[in-house]
Structure formats: structure tokens, C-alpha cells
Amino acid sequence: MKNVPHRLIGFSTKDLKQRSSDLLIIGSGIAGLTAAIKSHQEYKVTLLTKGKLKETATWYAQGGVATAMSEKDSPELHYQDTMKAGAGLCDPKAVRVLVNEARDSIDDLISLGVDFDRALSGKIELAREGGHSLSRILHTGDSTGSEIQSTLVSKVKSCSDIQIKENTFVLDFLVYKNRCVGAIVLEPEEKNPIVYFAKAVILATGGCGQLYKVTTSPLLATGDGIAMAYRAGAEVCDVEFMQFHPTGLYDKERPRFLITEALRGEGAYLRDCAGNRFMVGVHPLAELAPRDIVVREIVKAMKRCGEDHVYLDTTHIPAEKLEKRFPMIYERCKESGFNLSKDMVPVSPVAHYMMGGVKTDTFGRTSLPGLYASGETACTGIHGANRLASNSLLEGLVFSGRIYKILKDDIGKISKEEISDADLTCSFFGNKKDIDVDKHKELLREIMTTFVGVVRSKEGLKEALIKISDLQDEVFKIQFDEVGGFELQNMLTVAKLMAQAALIREESRGAHFRSDFSETNDSKWKKHIILKRGLQKPKFSKFI
């Protein structure tokens, strides 16, 4: 990407206030908090988060955590369901790691105090969601994410040796002798940026749902981590695969309220404007088909009806069951004028989850030494072209734990003295200029929703790239001094990467659907597109 600056600001580390730690963790969702809790007794840990500790996508997760727990289930069945949902692009080795280490990760959560719903017998109650062959979703009502987030936040706050900085924006990574050695950071109480040196950095900043007009992602999800890693020279993989969740509540709220597919797991139907169940006959699992399949059928139904929503029907499910199992959804729909036990609720697809991201191995290592990634910002190979429901929280748990396991060997490769001797400078010749940042963000969202949404085409993607490049030409020449402007620059970087990868992949697979290449082409495209700063052409790889 020619017009992306190497860094967002000019600086000299010797001229700025400096802080140091063994381990710098960026992000406070399930991935970041798990890494901090695992590591703090052995390393000096600093955790930076863009908003408050609880302002994360983890907080909004309703469904739960997928893990083989029942007598009928097994890691092998979980593996098969994950591989099938991923439409041929999952890394088998990474998926094996996920399903085989899931139970231990869940035990860790329970030991910290997460109180999953249990049946009268005392056994953990399991729900079913799309793409799963049986019930394996651990949950706490319909607010599993907030229960987990609250528990992890309480634990982190109780660890006096973890330095926590909230409302702190990370601008860019520091690279010294081809190793990530920290970051340049904006703190709210500081006039100038701060240098945070570290022997290792864990990136856990979440996704980029705010690139779209309609999303379930929190306002903070602007793709900062992926953009930072790309600028620093790390490989980015599979970013054409943005998952759209089938059932966001159809209203004007932003972010959109998600209606978990666990409702469909309890028997809810999807109906079109004529009241027909349009998923029956399309897939053996009907409403519980993988998300990419359900989303495309919803789009077809909306087009047939000339409407921009379909309906979720729960009226045949007992009211007391709905209120007990889904109290948050029940109340939220009620606020919007819908009674789940009496009314069909309007829903539509919403941008939900980035399956790709910063490429890692099965221990969270990126292609840039010293930099690790976990959670939604990472591409571990778990999700392939379409994430299996409720594998996301599990991924953050498992892979942050695996990062901790190898930190000892890696952190020892560089000393505190070596890092403190680093004199890093970066020139930036941007101009000070006032622009309407929010207006530019909305324009970008319009471009992404129109051309890089559920249905894509060569013509549309080329148009998107032209429009994004024009915005970059304007925005990247500006030296911002506030977070909104830096977010815009990150959003433009990730948007262009996504559009480029989507244009390159001339097939339809999982969440990536091309109207001009509507079939899946295994002979040519059963491989991953890797983008890296400075490469003239993309790299391709296959997981073995």
C-alpha cells in the first residue's frame, strides 16, 4: 500500500517520557485479560486499553463458549464441526489445539469464579448454536460475555503487580533490530506521546466492525491492531473474511443489538415477509446452518420481498422459557416494542467478526519477532472462511494461554539494557488540517457496506479501492493530534487491505461471496492470501 505512512506521527524516543516492563499487553477483552492473569506472577506486566476495562467486544458476547463437555460430545466432533464451518480454510493443527485445550481453559475460568448455568443435577447446562452438531455451548443466560469480562476484570484489578492504563491509545509499535520492543502511546493526562518499552508485546485489540454502517461491534472496534501490525511489517492474513451475523435487531441503534443464535438453538424460526420459513430445505440444519449460509439466504429473502429485514419467530416457545433463558434479549426487544412470546421480531445481517487479522502460529507468534497476537485481531487459522459460533471467546482463552507458555524463552532473547539503548526516530511530514473526522468515517462505512459487504463483485471492489485511495490521499497527509483522526487512518488502512484481498480472491467461500465468481474453487483458491507492507504482490499459503 504505497500511500500508507510508516508511522502515524514523527518522534524520537530519546525526546519522550519513557516507561518499561517485561510484557506489554494491548487490549482488555478476554484475550488481553487472560494473558495478563497468566503472566503477572513471572513478569512485570503493563496492560493498556483504549477505553475502560469493560469496553470490549467480549462484554457484548451473548451466546457463550463452545467446548466438548457432554458424554455424547468429544474434541473430535468439535474439530469436525469447526473444520466444516470454515469452508476448507481452517488450519487443522490450530483447530486441534483449540478443541483439545478447550476443557482446561474452561476449568481456568470456573476456578476464577465464572458461574456458568447449571441444570438441577448440577451439571453445566449446554446450548446449541449454528453449525454445531449437538449442544456444547456453555453460557450464563444470554450475557455470557459480560459475566466472563466482569470476572476477569475483577481478577486483574486484584493483581497489584499489573499496571493498568485505561483510555489510552496506542499509536504504533517500536521496532529495533527487527524486533518489536514496545509502542508509542497517547495517555489522556499527558500532552506528548509516551514511549512504552517492553521485551515482548501481546496485541489483543479486537476487530474492525466499525468499518460498516451496521455492526454489533463496539465503537472502539476500528481495526487499530491490524493497522499497527501492518505498518510495523507483520503479515496480515484472511482479511477478506468478515463475518456477518444473521440476526441483528432491526432498529436505528449503533452498535446494533445482537440477537444470539442460541434462540434458534432453542427452536426459533426465520421467516420472510410472507411468513415462510425460508431456511427449510436449504440446509439440513435449517435455521442452525453455518452463519454464512444463513446470511446469504436472508439477503435473498429480503430481495424477493423488497424489504431490508426478515423476521425471527419465537412465538411458539413458552414465554417463561424465553424470559428465563434470554432475559436481556427479552427486555431489549420489549424496549423496542416487541414481545418475544407474541411478536415476530425484525432482524437483518450485521457486520460482526473479523475471521482474519495478524497472522500467527499456534503459539500466537506473529511474523515480527517480539510481537504476539490473540483474539479477534489475530489470524490463528481457527476460523477459516467462516467462524463456527461461540469459538471466538474460546480462541482468546486458549491462545493467550499458549503465548504465556513460550514467553520465558522469547523474553530472554533481549535485555532491558538493550531496549533502553534503542534510539528510535521517525519523520512525519504531515500538515495540520481540520477535517470532519466523523463525516469521513461515515463515508468510509458507506463505501465498505456498499462494495465490501455481504455480496461483492470485481466492479464494486475496484470502485471501493479507488474511493478508499482517494480518502487516503487526503487523510494520510494530515498530522492528527487526537484519537478520532488516528482511528480514521487505521480504518482506511484495514479497509483497503480487506478490499484488496476480496478482489484477489476470485471465488465464493464462506463469508466471502462474489456475485461474479459464485462458486467455490478448491483447485485454485484453497489457500490463504497474505499481505505485508513493502510486498509488491500478495503471498499465498496453505495450512497443512
CATH code of the domain containing 522: 1.20.58.100
What was the pLDDT predicted at 3? 64
Pairing of strands 179-186, 169-176: antiparallel
Query: At 414, is the pLDDT very low, low, confident or very high (cuts 50, 70, 90)?
Result: confident
Same domain, 111 and 253: no
79 Cβ contact partners less than 8 Å away, ≥ 6 residues apart: 95, 96, 99
Distance between CA atoms of residues 458 and 451, nearest Å: 9
What was the pLDDT predicted at 432? 76
Contact status, residue 14 vs residue 5, Cβ threshold 8 Å: no
Which among 299, 331, 349 is the end of a domain? Answer: 349
First to last CA, the chain: 29
Contact status, residue 9 vs residue 169, Cβ threshold 8 Å: no
Same domain, 227 and 252: no
| 7 part of a folded domain | no
Query: At 253, is the pLDDT very low, low, confident or very high (cuts 50, 70, 90)?
Result: confident
What was the pLDDT predicted at 424? 78
What was the pLDDT predicted at 1? 58
Contact status, residue 411 vs residue 22, Cβ threshold 8 Å: yes
Contact status, residue 272 vs residue 309, Cβ threshold 8 Å: no
For residue 544, pLDDT beyond 80: no
Task: Let me know if 402 is a catalytic residue.
Answer: no
Tens of pLDDT along 309-329?
Answer: 999 999 999 999 999 999 999
Query: At 2, is the pLDDT very low, low, confident or very high (cuts 50, 70, 90)?
Result: low
Same domain, 53 and 170: yes
Same domain, 299 and 440: no
| 10 part of a folded domain | no
Same domain, 103 and 151: yes
Give percent above pLDDT 70 in the chain: 98
Which among 349, 370, 393 is the end of a domain? Answer: 349
Same domain, 55 and 92: yes
Which among 420, 452, 468 is the end of a domain? Answer: 420
Tens of pLDDT along 64-90?
Answer: 999 999 999 999 999 999 999 999 999
What was the pLDDT predicted at 543? 62
Q: Phi first, then psi: give them for residue 330, nearest 5 degrees.
A: -60, -45
Please tell me which residue in 271, 291, 445, 509 is annotated as part of the active site.
Answer: 291
- Range of 343-352, 416-425, 533-542 with top mean pLDDT: 343-352
Burial class (CB in 10 A: 0-12, 13-18, 19+), 499: buried
Joined together, the cell numbers standing for residue 494 give 484495514
| 2 part of a folded domain | no
Same domain, 397 and 432: no
Q: What angle do CA 331, 323, 144 make, to 5 degrees?
A: 80
400 Cβ contact partners less than 8 Å away, ≥ 6 residues apart: 30, 31, 32, 34, 35, 38, 202, 204, 364, 374, 375
Distance between CA atoms of residues 228 and 202, nearest Å: 12
| 190 part of a folded domain | yes
Same domain, 253 and 143: no
Count of the separate structural domains present in the chain? 3
| 147 part of a folded domain | yes
Distance between CA atoms of residues 133 and 81, nearest Å: 7
Give me the CATH number covering residue 389.
3.50.50.60
Same domain, 372 and 490: no
Mean pLDDT score of the chain: 94
Same domain, 188 and 110: yes
Domain carrying residue 50: 18-241+353-420
Pairing of strands 345-354, 357-359: unpaired
What was the pLDDT predicted at 429? 62
Same domain, 344 and 365: no
| 12 part of a folded domain | no
Instruction: State the pTM of this model.
Output: 0.95
Same domain, 254 and 397: no
Mean local confidence (pLDDT), 406-435: 78
| 259 part of a folded domain | yes
Contact status, residue 307 vs residue 273, Cβ threshold 8 Å: yes
Residue 359 β-bridge partners: 379
| 3 part of a folded domain | no
163 Cβ contact partners less than 8 Å away, ≥ 6 residues apart: 21, 44, 45, 46, 47
* 498 sits in which H/E element: helix 483-504
